[in-house]
Amino acid sequence: MNPLSFPASCRALAVGLAILAASGVGRAQSGPPPGVVIARSPDPDKAYIGTPGIAILPDGTYVAAHDIFGKNDRLTDTTHVFGSRDRGATWTHLSEIHGQAWFTLFVHRGALYLHGTASRYGNMTIRRSTDGGRTWTEPRDAKSGLLIRGRFHGAPVPVVVHEGRIWRAVEERVNDEQWPLHFSSLVVSAPENSDLLDAANWTRTNGTVFDPKWFNGRRPGWLEGNVVVAPGGSLVNILRVHTEPRPEDAFGSTGGAAGIPRYEVGARCEISRDGRQQSFDPQTGFVHFPGSQSKYTIRFDPVSKRYWSLIQKITHPHEGRDWATSPIHQRNVTMLTSSTDLRSWREESIVLRWREGQILSGSDRVAWQYLDWQFDGDDLVAVSRTSWGGQNYHNANLMTFHRVKNFRNLTMADSPLDLSVK
């Protein structure tokens, strides 16, 4: 039964029947999750794992961190930091930070940093640790890490050093529209040899708000940008774009995104060399990026001369308009992709898969999402906000560690079996 062969008025019913046929709504996989469990939610019904970040210290120690979000006010906006001295096989809890959310974890000049927000939609802050994540500075004022007051948002996205400056993409909430229409995209930067805790050293670009007229969708908007050095040496900010259609929308993308498959539309903004201007051309700035419906991280590999990303591939991009069964809920297939030019992406290999190709619902309880990762020789090492029997796919109960071995040589033939098949 193909729901797309029905008239529009019947598609919602057909999608519902398809889900019932696909082994039930809200199904969770049994058995232990793939990878290594670093952390579990202390209150999985109300407190969920978010913002998984990973960094590698100069001595080879892995450091990973996550925050907590949800309905438990005591735990929300608390960040936990972990370390591993055996390449991710085992992990030790290093520290607990209150008033820290939505960060990027990174190493710069031997020190470890958390650049993020003091709370959800809170002030932009930065913290530094000189003992591997055990203790952290406190952002009390403009000299100690309180960078900009306002309502900011971010994710574990790349921090890039380029032409003497250190760069990261963030978003500012500039209105009270629905998510993600309230986001203004911008990039912040500082001289790479400056005191990163001093707000006076940081520069921000202008903010760019997504115009709903640019894309035919319900609440179209952008967030979680990746600052990347493009071929030729310019800086660009490649953003996730929310492209869920309204009932009245043609399924095909229109305007500057025409010809790009819905749910695979990314946006590319240009960044000036002085870090003060960000620009976007809606006629030329939309790019085809598989996995762009969910957060991703892009990094350049000097060995292969390619850009790499771990993305959530939507494997059933059906035309159904029922939110409960929208393809936006498909975070069940993690795929390794690469590109030479940031415009044409090649799907290299599946890394994790569960119920691939099926219609999922918002109450399904398996997902890998918000993966952050680093190069480690011939491997990629990653951490995931993982739901494995969580409250639902979005409200994750775990942070898990994963190693993608010999990533440069993988092909689709190396993809693992679907974890839903016993």
Q: Spell out the domain ranges in the chain.
A: 3-414
* 359-399 tens-digit pLDDT: 999 999 999 999 999 999 999 999 999 999 999 999 999 99
* 43-101 tens-digit pLDDT: 999 999 999 999 999 999 999 999 999 999 999 999 999 999 999 999 999 999 999 99
Query: Is pLDDT above 50 for 2?
Result: no
User: In this prediction, what percent of the chain has a pLDDT beyond 90?
Assistant: 92
Question: Span 301-321, mean pLDDT?
Answer: 97
Task: Look at residues 404, 400, 420, 406 and name the one whose alpha carbon lies nearest to residue 64.
Answer: 400
Query: Is pLDDT above 60 for 418?
Result: yes
Q: Output the average pLDDT for the chain.
A: 94
Task: Look at residues 316, 406, 383 and name the one whose alpha carbon lies nearest to residue 34.
Answer: 383
Question: Span 165-193, mean pLDDT?
Answer: 97
* 198-222 tens-digit pLDDT: 999 999 999 999 999 999 999 999 9
* 240-258 tens-digit pLDDT: 999 999 999 999 999 999 9
pTM score: 0.93
Domain 3-414 CATH assignment equals 2.60.120.10:
no
Instruction: Give the E-state strand segments of 137-290 in sequence order.
Output: 146-153, 160-162, 165-173, 183-191, 203-204, 208-209, 221-229, 235-242, 265-271, 278-279, 286-288
Are the C-beta atoms of 333 and 356 separated by less than 8 Å? yes
What kind and span of H or E run contains 102? strand 101-108
Instruction: Give the E-state strand segments of 282-378 in sequence order.
Output: 286-288, 298-301, 306-312, 333-339, 345-353, 366-376
Query: Is pLDDT above 80 for 27?
Result: no
Question: What's the confidence (pLDDT) of residue 422?
Answer: 73
Give backbone dihedrals phi and psi of 8, rounded to 5 degrees, phi first.
Answer: -55, -35
Question: Span 155-176, mean pLDDT?
Answer: 98
CA–CA separation, 224 and 222 (whole Å): 7
DSSP 8-state assignment for residue 260: S
Query: Is pLDDT above 70 for 20?
Result: no
Non-local (6+) Cβ contacts of 226 within 8 A are 157, 158, 169, 237, 238, 239, 296, 297, 298
**Other CB atoms within 10 A of residue 293 CB:** 28
Give backbone dihedrals phi and psi of 122, rounded to 5 degrees, phi first.
Answer: -115, -170
Question: Span 217-244, mean pLDDT?
Answer: 97
Higher pLDDT, 27 or 141: 141
CA–CA separation, 369 and 51 (whole Å): 9
Task: Give the chain's largest Cα–Cα span.
Answer: 63
* Angle at 370 (CA atoms; ends 365, 376), nearest 5 degrees: 120
pLDDT tier, 41 (very low <50, low <70, confident <90, very high otherwise): very high
Q: What would you report as the CA-atom Rg of the chain, rounded to the nearest whole angstrom?
A: 20
pLDDT tier, 29 (very low <50, low <70, confident <90, very high otherwise): confident
Query: Is pLDDT above 60 for 25?
Result: no
Question: Span 286-306, mean pLDDT?
Answer: 98
Question: Span 319-337, mean pLDDT?
Answer: 97
Question: What's the confidence (pLDDT) of residue 21?
Answer: 37
**Identity of the amino acid at 59:** D
Q: Map tokens 């608390």 to a residue.
A: 78
pLDDT tier, 28 (very low <50, low <70, confident <90, very high otherwise): confident
CA–CA separation, 143 and 196 (whole Å): 9
